Amino acid sequence: MAKKVKFLQGNEACVEGALMAGMTFYSGYPITPSTEIAELSAERLPRIGGKFIQMEDEIAGIAAAIGASLTGAKAMTATSGPGFSLKQENIGYAALTEIPVVIVNVQRGGPSTGLPTAPGQGDLMQAMWGTHGDHPVICLTPDSVRETFDLTIRAFNLAEKYRTPVILLTDEITGHMREKIEIPDASEVEIYNRIKPEPGSDYKAYKVVDGDIVPKMADFGSGFRYHVTGLMHDETGFPSNSTKNAGILMDRLMAKITDNLDDIITFEEIETADADYLIVAYGGTARTAKAAVKKLRAEGIKVGLFRPITVWPFPEAALYKLSEQVKDIIVAELNYGQMKLEVERVVKNNAPVRFCGKANGEVLTPEELIQKFKEVL
Amino acid sequence: MNHPLVEGFFRMDKFPHIWCPGCGHGIIMASIARAIEKIGLDKDKVCIVSGIGCSSRAPGYMDFNTLHTTHGRALAFATGVKLANPELEVIVIAGDGDLSAIGGNHLIHAARRNIGITTICFNNNIYGMTGGQYSPTTPTKEKGTTAPYGNIDKPFDITQLAIGAGATYAAKTTAYHVPQMDKLIETAIRHKGFSMVEAISICPTYYGRKNKKGSVVDMMTFLKDSFIDVKVAEKLPPEKKEGKFLMGEFINKAEPEYTEQYDQIIASQKK
């Protein structure tokens, strides 16, 4: 089959990616600027025998997706800031019960209702720390329409592989921007499906069998009658108050991420080989940073860009290495310095960490970033 | 030797259960199992979903596909399960607080959609798991630990709430009226579309003690004496109905079921 060239919004590319990844279920609640993801899912899913449902609220949107995933469906929900806040409890539920689900947050401006139609990147920390208690989370951030397509597929793959909620953290810039994208043929795309137990086999729902990363996951209705609970549980899945069991479970949940960082983490480096200065930027703001790097390089300034694509877990090893080489680091983002905190934690005293950002609903222009770069460096 | 029902439908190694002596919840749980047995459902195709609270611990004891979710959200999770796989017989077990306070929005919308889920509400008029706070079904003037001077809220009639929201089957029964409960739960599970049975339970430990309701036997006797079947009540003179509560089948009508309607959309759009 020939490659299909399309002119798509990031939000539309997200749905195209989800469908290619095997999404068969979408449940959500309308919210700007993510609504196109729901609208296109509603149109496309029944055509492939999949299901779409508009739920009564944001909480129900993620709850239904988790329920559907338990029956074997690949499920997604999409939202923006206020809805992301409402989904937090059930993100923790999916993390503890190890039910794959993809949550898209098309970030908008401000706390509260804020600026519904304007971009922001203020949910970076919430994506990691939004739900209560320690828990594993994988969070990916695209900077283009094509990458939104690719990372949506990757989000499903990682959710299935690690049995954990995966957050696709986009923003109003990439969500509503239109670009030409080439949709690859399905045969070129790698798809990962959760491992299911053999029919009739002896099955403990939360026991990791040798050689596996996570417990095998039986579909509800497939003959394995097991229990799923948000309480701490043992290998059988039933509640356990044992602190020993709780420790074993928590260690395993955290380790399935920390033991597989090389598989989970991706990032992009531009012009870093000889860089004296480093810009760190992600998502829509990385586009600003790419333009700024180009212009500064044209002036002969040795500056490079480090762009985390996986933002959680944070790509700290690669950034630490770069911090040993550069004189100065500037972090550009649409908030009051959320990733800056993470960069400071990682680079320690290797280089000073400066900041360029705002949270008034405007995008950062290359000129603003260049001006700030020259001011502080 | 255990009753065959216990051996066939419960997870024997999970007992003893967590409920207090005299709690009415076990009676309702057993009634659900009897209904499933009578209908002859395939255990592998039954999914029981609950939220948080005393009654929500029931699925852990029941040998089906069981899902213990977050507080109030059982119907939202169940909606995903049912829509993704309509072959499953989905039953939600929820307490009065879980279903009509934190989860009230999901109740009215599941009823409105007429999705094929059976909800059994274990209504003990109190938050038991947290130690006896007043719930949306605690009668006015009764006490809870958070209503030390008497509750000034007006209670919900959960059955009427479900009917108002569009439930196509709704019934009420009590932990005393077991043969009726068995029949109503069986009818509710067989019903196509959203069905709800509100089963009035008793909480002697928190509700009973706080409100001086006497012994477990006294509380059961109260259920026996206070409820009359809605069909019987129709023929009674007003003075015989004074101070009584109605139970029985309040609505039973046929309307298109949600997942079947969605399947029709799929059939019309699938290439």
CATH number of the structural domain spanning residue B137: 3.40.50.970
Count of CB contacts below 8 A, A vs B? 131
Q: Which residue of A has its CA nearest to B107?
A: A56
Residue B144: C-alpha distances to residues A138, B108, B150, B159, B216 (Å): 43, 26, 7, 23, 18
Model confidence at A2: pLDDT above 80: no
Beta-carbon separation of B105 and A60 below 8 A: yes
Count of the separate structural domains present in chain B: 1
Q: Taking an 8 Å Cβ-Cβ cutoff, which residues of chain A contact chain B?
A: 24-25, 27, 46-49, 51, 53, 55-57, 59-60, 63-73, 75, 89-90, 93, 219-223, 225-231, 238-239
Beta-carbon separation of B266 and A49 below 8 A: yes
* CA dihedral sign, ordered B150, B154, B160, B165: negative
Identify the structural domains of chain A with CATH numbers, from first to last. Answer: 4-188 (3.40.50.970), 268-376 (3.40.50.920)
Q: What is the pLDDT of residue B7?
A: 84
A286-301: per-residue pLDDT in tens? 999 999 999 999 999 9
CA distance B261 to chain A (A): 12
Model confidence at A3: pLDDT above 80: no
CA distance B76 to chain A (A): 5
Model confidence at A341: pLDDT above 60: yes
Confidence of residue B48 (pLDDT cuts 50, 70, 90): very high
Stretch (H or E) spanning B126: strand B126-127
Q: What is the pLDDT of residue A343?
A: 98
Q: Enter the DSSP assignment of B206.
A: I
Q: Which residue of A has its CA nearest to B104?
A: A56
A11-36: per-residue pLDDT in tens? 999 999 999 999 999 999 999 999 99
A148-195: per-residue pLDDT in tens? 999 999 999 999 999 999 999 999 999 999 999 999 999 999 999 999
A301-327: per-residue pLDDT in tens? 999 999 999 999 999 999 999 999 999
Place of tokens 């000073």: A352
CA distance A98 to chain B (A): 13
CA distance B81 to chain A (A): 5
Place of tokens 């879980």: B98
Taking the C-alpha atoms of residue A18 and residue A154, their distance in angstroms, rounded to an integer, is 9
B11-42: per-residue pLDDT in tens? 999 999 999 999 999 999 999 999 999 999 99
Q: What is the pLDDT of residue B212?
A: 97
Cβ–Cβ under 8 Å, residues A301 and A377: no
Q: Mean pLDDT across the stretch A114-138?
A: 97
What average pLDDT does the structure give for chain B? 97
Q: Taking an 8 Å Cβ-Cβ cutoff, which residues of chain B contact chain A?
A: 14, 43-45, 47, 49, 59-60, 63-70, 73, 76-81, 83-85, 87-88, 105-106, 108-109, 262, 265-266, 269-271
Core vs surface per residue A2-37: b (16+ CB within 10 A) or e: eeeeeebbbbbbbbbbbbbbbbbbbbbbebbbbbbb
- Judging contacts by C-beta atoms under 8 Å, the chain B residues touching residue A73 are 84-85
Q: What is the pLDDT of residue B3?
A: 85
pTM for the model: 0.98
Residue A377: C-alpha distances to residues A110, A112, A277, A330, A353 (Å): 29, 35, 9, 9, 10
Model confidence at A1: pLDDT above 90: no
Beta-carbon separation of B84 and A25 below 8 A: yes
Place of tokens 């990385």: A286
What average pLDDT does the structure give for chain A? 97
CA distance B267 to chain A (A): 8
The DSSP secondary structure of A154-166, one letter per residue, reads HHHHHHHHHTSEE
Confidence of residue B1 (pLDDT cuts 50, 70, 90): low
Q: Mean pLDDT across the stretch B84-98?
A: 98
- Judging contacts by C-beta atoms under 8 Å, the chain B residues touching residue A228 are 66-68
- Judging contacts by C-beta atoms under 8 Å, the chain A residues touching residue B108 are 56
CA distance B178 to chain A (A): 27
Q: CA neighbours within 13 Å on the CB side: how many for A167?
A: 34
Beta-carbon separation of A25 and B269 below 8 A: no
- Judging contacts by C-beta atoms under 8 Å, the chain A residues touching residue B69 are 63, 93, 230
Which tokens belong to A139? 């969070």
The boundaries of the domain holding residue B171 are 4-269
Q: Mean pLDDT across the stretch B140-153?
A: 98
Tell me which residue of A230, A231, A225, A232 sits closest to A205, measured CA to CA: A225
Q: How many CB atoms lie within 10 A of CB A321?
A: 12
CA distance A15 to chain B (A): 18
Which residues touch A209 (CB under 8 Å, ≥6 apart)?
A215, A216
Q: Strand ranges (DSSP E) for chain A?
A: 4-9, 23-28, 51-54, 74-79, 101-109, 115-119, 138-140, 165-171, 178-183, 227-229, 267-270, 277-281, 303-308, 310-312, 328-333, 353-357
Q: How many CB atoms lie within 10 A of CB B11?
A: 17
Tell me which residue of A139, A98, A48 sits closest to A235, measured CA to CA: A98
Interface mutation target, options A26, A40, A53, A231, chain B, most CBs of B under 10 Å: A53
Q: Which residue of A has its CA nearest to B13?
A: A238
A188-218: per-residue pLDDT in tens? 999 999 999 999 889 999 999 989 999 999 9
Q: Which of A24, A56, A229 sits opposite B109 (nearest CB)?
A: A56
Confidence of residue B4 (pLDDT cuts 50, 70, 90): confident
Beta-carbon separation of B65 and A221 below 8 A: yes
